[in-house]
Amino acid sequence: MVSNSRFDAAGWLFWTVVFVLCAGPCMYAAWQIIDPKANRLYPIGTGFVVAAILAGFISWAVNAALQWREKRQRIERRKKARKRK
């Protein structure tokens, strides 16, 4: 997750933190949508599944941004190296 004291990827720890932060609002939203007569496990399970999917999308977006930034930095380093020669 950390190489040379800079982040190159958001790993499972980041996903877990985002999941925990999203779990409450997702369960609340599921509780509002699902019929009150339904079993209590349905909104809880639905909230967890939606929170997991949402955390996955957020982690994917953060990883894409980090990889894009690293690619741009690598291209800049190559350009500077070519100019030195």
Q: Name, in order, each residue with C-beta under 8 angstroms of 38's C-beta and a sequence gap of 6 or more.
A: none
Within a domain: 5: no
pLDDT one-digit tens code per residue, 15-31: 999 999 999 999 999 99
Q: In this structure, what token pair is assigned to residue 83?
A: 């100019």
Length of the chain, please? 85
Within a domain: 1: no
pLDDT confidence of 84, banded at 50, 70, 90?
Answer: confident
pLDDT one-digit tens code per residue, 43-79: 999 999 999 999 999 999 999 999 999 889 888 988 8
**Domain count of the fold of the chain:** 1
> What is the DSSP code (8-state) at residue 40?
T
Q: Which domain holds residue 58?
A: 11-84
Residue 67 CA neighbour count, 13 Å, CB half: 9
Within a domain: 3: no
**Confidence (pTM):** 0.77
